[in-house]
Structure 1
Amino acid sequence: MTAPKRKKARANGEGTIYQRKDGRWEAAGYVLAADGSHKRVRVYGTTRKDAANKLAAKIADSNRGLPVATADSTVGDYLTYWLGSVAIHRLRENTHTRYATCIRLHLIPGLGTKKVTRLTARDVRTLLDRLRTTCQCCAQGLDTERKACCAIGECCQKRLSPLTVTYVHSVLKSALEHAVREDELPRNIARNVKTTAPRPRRFQPLTATEARQFLDTARSDRLHALYELALRTGLRKGELLGLHWEDLDLDGGIASIRRSLQRTRTGGLTHLPTKTRASERRIALPTECIHSLKEHKERQDKERETAGAAWRDSGLVFTTPAGGPFDPTNLTRRFRSVLARTGLRRIRFHDLRHSTATLLLEQGVDLIVIKELLGHAHIGVTAGVYAHVRLRLQRQAIDTLGDALGPTDVDPDAPPAAAVVR
């Protein structure tokens, strides 16, 4: 009788794989942890091959010197690993910087020493409640450094806004969601904690009269074409500053939005992809914008001649007088000076975009058209942001219907007129 063929033993360093009583396969091996030591990590799969591939991927990362989150990692170690090895490849640089700040200031001080596998919904809820009620000057030790606030017995009560607390919660959910996808955690504890949705940030769009007043004042400004394009098309600041002349078809009246100019911590002024895939779009240019862009092109050609050898040929539509990219912060300063000359109330540059959408809605333009123009990923975003405008339009519609259904001078005994209902 032939003896059953034994399975080939796994080589040293490949870890172990076995089937659990619940039918799932579990693979375990030693990898480099966030604290520099080697610890045992466990992964799970529906098949032996699935579990083996997951373990092999983690061992490969460990062999390249990348730390891997383990079952007994602390929240602080796991967040550090996730930020440096996972999120950095998925987030835009400025978003990654905000995540890092949130983790450093709030999540690690509040939950950093707890084990990831022992984290509870109560732990998360307690942290969020503490962030809502605790003075951040005192919590971060800023009062001691400045010798103010609680350090002198006069607490300033500088608490986090509801929007920031919600942001902290969302960062933690994102990090733990990765652990769930990688079968390192059975469920995302942070999702079990429900937070009150903060009130949307109020914005102050320009009225039609204010918008005309703003454009009249900006007509003498060097960047008049930019302001007109912002107000008539709703382009974002980065999209405006990232426009190249090759993106514009002035004869056909079309602009292709392909990139955004942003200032990042490591790269300075950098061309990045648009905010979302839906933001990469083609839009129709208003006649007024075509005229102002042609005038702007003539002015830029004169500036090129004046600058001579010092001209930086960046191909950008809106540049400095020497041809270089225009810093977003400098645009904000310039915009505020135009507002001051106009005598209008102080608003954000982004409120020009809100003004575009609000004015279009008030003119009866369909929501889907506005969504495509603004480059929103989903129409729900457009509908949510401008809900207050739609409510005002509903009131006008109801009042119009009320006028139609109100008393009239028509003879009540006259036969009803035939009407076609569509």
Structure 2
Amino acid sequence: MPIYSYMKKGKEHWYYAFEVKDKYGERKTIKKRGFTGKTEARAAERLARVEWEKGQYVDPSKLTVSEYMEDWLANKQDVSKETRETNEGHIKNHISPAIGHILFQKLDVTDIERLTRSLQEKGLADGTVRKIFNLVQTAFKTAQRKEQIAKNPFDLLDKGSRPRAGKSKVDYWTKEEVKQFFSVLNHRHRILFVLAIYTGMRRGEILGLRFKDIDFENSQIRIRQTLKPRGRVKEGGKNENAERSITISKFVQKELKRHKTVIIQERWEEKIDFKDDSYVVCHPDGQPASLGNFHKFWMRILKNTNMRQIRFHDLRHTCASLLLTSGAHPKVVQELLGHSSIKVTLDLYSHLMPNMQREALEKLDQMLN
């Protein structure tokens, strides 16, 4: 078998090389380096031969950035279905239009800077620009490790040319605005907003919540699943800390019981087939609410209640800000909201800390004087 070894940084590596004839009868060598094991190199060589015979072999030197990115993502195993779909969208909508036509082995610093500039000109959020940049950078690190490129252009970038990780946008309603909202809100899904503001639950967590996840006797909600786009249900939460128990107040309990009564009444009055999966927020037939037109739905709610426009996700920030300004410990807020770490909580709501410091110092002053 045409498998050969070579030394790299004091370690033995392997590559394959074999000759073929193209359709004109001319000889060419198919070669690939970067394998850390002989067995791995042999398996790759067999596959390359099969692909050549089927006419599917692609010379790496002729791959475009789009082709490489799509192939790299297709072979990546450590990503969830949702993340894969998001990354496929980034490649199709942002990466390919900007640099997709360039030969992947010829990508240079100028091309990367052009990609970053095009993303910023589209008005994408700083966090989104950073994620897309990191997606391409990670793919090219893989290519460098497999020795598909001689140099990684991302290693040549100036620090100032890299997109900065912008601070997440945080907006929220005041105590007065929350009271005003609930005083004029009259909607079948009122419970959706009660849970968002009083518990800080994420949208997908609320829409995935079932009555069987609620322990009324012990006043707790258990986050066991989240609703994803196109009606998919994901077990657990967004992260390890997101699968959590949330203590609910008497007011929230009362609202949940009232809402359940409304659902049962609708079921009997409408006399329609009811899919009883016990979803708290559901259509009249029991099906979980759709995420597809959620933004339009939220905008309609804001218009009908004549409230200041914020994102639905900002209701979660509203919960956190009201808790912190009332004196709640940041650790309690972290656990309630299901943040991955206390650092996330402090980074998001650090602007509220000066008020907390002032109140603490005033209490200390009163204690000692």
TM class by shorter chain equals: 0.7 to 0.9
CA distance in 2: counterparts of 1:334 and 1:132, whole angstroms = 28
The change in CA–CA distance for 1:404 and 1:333 in structure 2 (over 3 A counts) is same
Pick one of 239, 247, 260 that aligns with 2:205: 239
Partner of residue 79, structure 2: 90
CA distance in 1, matches of 2:141, 2:38: 21
Structure 2 length-normalised TM? 0.80
Aligned length: 350
Q: Distance in 2 between matches of 1:53 and 1:293?
A: 60
Using the alignment, how far apart are the partners of 1:290 and 1:186 within structure 2? Answer: 62
Q: Look up the equivalent residue of 2:72 and give its one-letter code.
A: W
The answer to whether 1:24 aligns with 2:23 is no
Q: Give 1:172 shift.
A: 0.9
Deviations 1:276-334 (A, max 9, x none): 22211121122211111112222222222234352122221211112111112455444
- What amino acid does structure 1 have at the position aligned with 2:3? T
| Alpha-carbon distance, 1:390 to partner | 2.1
CA distances 1:222-268 after superposition (whole Å, capped 9, x unpaired): 222222111111011111010122211111111111211122xxxx2
Secondary structure (helix, strand or coil) at the match of 1:368 reads helix
Using the alignment, how far apart are the partners of 2:108 and 2:227 within structure 1? 41
> How big is the shift at 1:23?
2.7
CA distance in structure 2 between the aligned counterparts of 1:42 and 1:179, rounded to whole angstroms: 11
Question: 1:136-285 residue pairs with structure 2 within 5 A?
Answer: 162-179=126-143, 189-190=153-154, 193=157, 194=159, 195-197=162-164, 199-218=166-185, 220-263=186-229, 268-273=230-235, 274-285=237-248
- 2:343 corresponding residue in structure 1: 380
Query: Using a 3 Å threshold, how does the CA distance of structure 1 residues 56 and 129 change in structure 2: closer, same or farther?
Result: same
CA shift digits 1:90-112 (9 cap, x unpaired): 1333x433322322343334433
Could you tell me how far apart the structure 2 residues matched to 1:306 and 1:361 are? 43
Contact 1:230/1:353, CA 8 A, preserved across alignment: yes
Q: Report the Cα offset of residue 395 of structure 1.
A: 5.4
Question: For the pair shown, which has the larger CA radius of gyration, 1 or 2?
Answer: 1
**Amino acid paired to 2:175:** A
Q: Confirm or deny: 8 A CA contact 1:69 1:78 kept in the other structure.
A: no
- 1:23-422 superposed matches below 5 A: 23-29=10-16, 39-45=30-36, 51-55=37-41, 58=44, 72=61, 73-86=63-76, 90-93=79-82, 95-129=83-117, 131-132=119-120, 162-179=126-143, 189-190=153-154, 193=157, 194=159, 195-197=162-164, 199-218=166-185, 220-263=186-229, 268-273=230-235, 274-394=237-357, 400=362, 404=365
Greater alpha carbon shift after TM alignment, 386-395 vs 203-212: 386-395
What is the identity, as a one-letter code, of the residue corresponding to 1:254?
A: Q
CA distance in 2, matches of 1:247, 1:240: 11
Q: Which amino acid aligns with 1:24?
A: K
Is the CA contact (8 Å cut-off) linking 2:226 and 2:233 kept in structure 1? yes
DSSP 3-state at the match of 2:279: coil
Measure, in 2, the Cα distance between the counterparts of 1:161 and 1:169.
Answer: 12
Give the partner amino acid of 1:168.
Answer: I
The offset of 1:382, in angstroms, is: 1.5
Once the two structures are superposed, residues 341-386 of structure 1 have per-residue CA deviations (whole angstroms, 9 ceiling, x without a partner) of 4332122111110101111111121112111111111222222121
Letter in 1 for 2:177: E
Q: Is the 8 A contact 1:169 1:190 kept in 2?
A: no
Alpha-carbon distance, 1:271 to partner: 0.6
Contact kept in structure 2, 1:253 and 1:284, CA below 8 Å: yes
Q: Which moved more, 1:244-253 or 1:187-196?
A: 187-196
When the two structures are superposed, what TM-score results if normalisation uses the length of structure 1?
A: 0.71
CA distance in 2, matches of 1:243, 1:359: 24
In percent, how many aligned pairs have the same letter? 27
Letter in 1 for 2:137: K
RMSD: 3.5
Structure 2 residues not aligned, in runs of 5+: 19-28
Contact kept in structure 2, 1:58 and 1:68, CA below 8 Å: no
